[in-house]
Structure 1
């Protein structure tokens, strides 16, 4: 990096914003920049992080208007004219500074029936799973979601419709719908076909574009659209 310092603007939710000159270093991440500000310029700055290696997703923020994991985002990739703007994740209430309230995001998982529906007990034999089946492949495709909410922040449908369940919750519903061990098919289809369900998706694809784990929520939502439509016509017979 050729610049000696970085002009950093940090949006602090309803409290306004702060401007800082942060020393530039090689291999510097956005999270490094935020940490420098908190440790050296403004100890009142609040933000979240944990693992720092791209495993937990808790450091997700908006960087120049794009949702990213800040621990895996190098400043050299996002800096423009020696400056960068960092803000809290979009589409979620701001608690303080760069910290957002994740409750609405996780509440959508529950609304989408994104929990395992099982009937076996610990005393029953483990049910066999065909890892090569088409449904298992679909289930595995979204299993690495770590609930970071980047897709939720990227989604314009969520921005315009707060009742929309969102990409992560719907992808989780699709995963369970294709899980041979899950017995909640009817409940899942009912949950994702309601007023805030999968048919609100406009297939813009921001969720898939910005997913740090290279998952494809848009395709999962398309699958739910197909299955809910089939279910509707079957019931109408």
Structure 2
């Protein structure tokens, strides 16, 4: 696959792109779930090896946080979107109608299956090189590393530390059922912060939390400096 920078044999590539919804509608053909399982392990190894060798002064907890941030569903889905991967995934009609090609869970899982396919085709060295090409920019992204894997948890930590009050996500939806868009606006202690959108309530809330976290980070940083 040219966008990945590697060549995967057609049969393995098709398997890597076959979501279970498509397989179910086509007589129960094999899905990409086994490749996803393999790719998850290759991804974890590649990132762990890089972090261990390149950050010798970081304690185990910080290494784990960095790894979690860049192998999270959110991070992998962002990579998949940058590659335009969604248009190539084989989906069942139900997922197509609900915009499955842009669902973070499906995108992230497919990225892992492609990593697994690369490993099967070329071995660990090429698979590791591909992983690092995709992941390295994220390892230098302060926003990605700052909030770890869950923006909503990061917001809860800031709100609790600053005693800001109750957290509330006000979510609205619009559009037809098969292509619905949700908008979430985060309120903390009655004050409105970041607004985010997504194809599901959960993703809209995560985007809202991410935007809010960036707005609140200076306050959090100054509190830590005291």
Q: Give the helix-richer structure, 1 or 2.
A: 2
| TM-score normalised to structure 2 length | 0.31
Determine which structure has more spread, i.e. the larger CA radius of gyration. Answer: 1
